[in-house]
Structure formats: structure tokens, C-alpha cells
């Protein structure tokens, strides 16, 4: 009787133990390449968003809420703009967006780095036709100005909020600096 209970339990324990160990091992082995790959994609994205960038400086400023990173871009030692990384929560978890601003805090372009939105529905909100409408916006623009993607309202609004948060943040940063 006891044997009948113990045997399956032991088998389940062994299977979970082996699978978990393999998972841990894979995580350990791949953690470094994944981190490197992320830095690489980030750099490539900066290059696409601000092609004229020659030097990037990671401004380790006080970050609030969903704002994750602030990069200043220089060309010929002259400040040409900022890139803010925001991570609003979408339908399937955080959506990491990089937003490029000119020196006056006007949105130039945006690109999504990582997301887990539903393929075919929500992921339209992380692609270019949708992201394109943010160009030219600045400050705390009204979300009503943005056309959401059909059947992907949650993903669209998350992206819009992320870009708006980045825009409001950079606006405060630029105008807060000037006397």
C-alpha cells in the first residue's frame, strides 16, 4: 500500500528534479550570451533610431515608474537628442520601448525592443504603422490623439502610455534644467 503511493511520488520527484536541474543549467549557461545579445540589440536599435549618433552616454539619472534608461546621443560633441527606454505593462507582460527625442523633447521615432503580445493581434501595436503616429508628439500629449489597433486595445494603449511617460519625463528633464 505504502509502496504504491511512494513509487509514483518518487518518480515524479526524480523527473521534476532532473528537468529543473537541466533548466537551471541552461539558464546559467545562456545568461551571459543573452545579456550580451540584449546590449547588442539595444545598440543596433539606437543606431536605427538616431543614425547620426556618434557617441552615446548612459545618463544614470533618477528613474521613475516605468522609465528604465536614459541615453544622451552626441554627434561631433554636440547633443543631438535623447533615447528613453520605457517598459509599460501590456497584455502579456512588460513591453520594452525605445523612444528617440530631439533636443527639444519632440518624439522622432520609437521602436519596441522586447514584448510578449499575442502574435497576429497585439503585436501589430509594436510595429511601425502604429508607432509612426507618435512622431512629432511632445510633452504629456493626449492619448485620444492615438488610433489604437483593432482588437489590440490593451497592447496599443500600453505602448501609447509608455511613449507618453517617456515624453513627459524628457520634457520635465529638458525644461527643468533651463533657468
Partner 1 sequence: MKPLKILLNGVWYENPIFVQAIALCPALAVSTTAVNAIGMGLATAVVLIFSNITISLVHRFIPNQVRIPCFIVIIAGFVTVLQFGLEAYFPALNHSLGIFIPLIVVNCILLARAESFAASNNALWSAADGLCTGLGFTAALTFIGAIREFFGSGTFFGVSVLPAWFPLTVIIILPPGAFFTLGALIAGMNVIKKRRRA
Asked whether position 116 contacts partner 1 by CB under 8 A, the answer is: yes
Is residue 89 close enough to count as binding partner 1 by CB under 8 A?
no
Eight-state DSSP code of residue 151: T
Counting contacts by CB under 8 A, is residue 153 touching partner 1?
no
Closer residue to partner 1 (CB): 107 or 110: 110
Query: Any alpha helices (H) in 55-152, and if so which ranges?
Result: 128-132
Binding mask 47-86 for partner 1 (x = CB under 8 A): ----------------------------------------
Task: For the beta carbon of residue 15, count every other beta carbon within 10 angstroms.
Answer: 10
Contacts of 134 (CB under 8 A, 6+ apart): 99, 107, 110, 146, 160, 163
Residues, the chain, total?
A: 179
Instruction: Answer yes or no: are the C-beta atoms of 108 and 81 closer than 8 Å.
Output: yes
For residues 44 and 49, what is the distance between their CA atoms, to the nearest angstrom?
9
C-beta of 167: minimal distance to partner 1 in Å? 27
The one among 51, 62, 76, 120 contacting partner 1 by CB under 8 A: 120
Q: Does 117 bind partner 1 (CB under 8 A)?
A: yes
Q: Which residues bind partner 1 (CB under 8 A)?
A: 7-9, 11-12, 15-16, 19-20, 22-23, 26-27, 29-30, 33-34, 37, 40-41, 115-121, 123, 150-151
Amino acid at each position: 500500500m505504502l509502496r504504491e503511493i511512494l513509487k509514483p511520488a518518487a518518480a515524479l520527484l526524480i523527473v521534476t528534479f532532473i528537468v529543473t536541474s537541466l533548466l537551471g543549467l541552461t539558464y546559467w549557461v545562456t545568461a551571459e550570451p543573452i545579456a550580451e545579445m540584449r546590449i547588442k540589440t539595444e545598440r543596433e536599435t539606437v543606431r536605427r533610431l538616431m543614425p547620426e549618433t556618434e557617441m552615446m552616454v548612459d545618463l544614470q539619472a533618477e528613474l521613475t515608474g516605468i522609465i528604465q534608461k536614459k541615453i544622451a546621443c552626441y554627434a561631433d560633441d554636440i547633443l543631438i537628442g535623447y533615447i528613453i527606454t520605457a517598459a509599460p505593462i501590456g497584455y502579456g507582460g512588460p513591453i520594452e520601448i525605445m523612444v528617440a527625442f530631439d533636443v527639444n523633447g519632440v518624439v522622432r521615432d520609437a521602436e519596441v525592443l522586447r514584448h510578449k503580445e499575442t502574435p497576429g493581434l497585439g503585436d501589430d501595436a509594436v510595429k511601425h504603422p502604429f508607432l509612426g503616429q507618435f512622431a512629432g508628439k511632445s510633452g504629456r500629449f493626449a492619448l485620444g490623439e492615438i488610433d489604437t489597433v483593432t482588437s489590440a486595445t490593451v497592447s496599443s494603449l500600453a505602448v501609447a502610455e509608455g511613449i507618453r511617460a517617456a515624453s513627459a519625463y524628457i520634457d520635465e528633464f529638458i525644461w527643468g534644467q533651463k533657468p
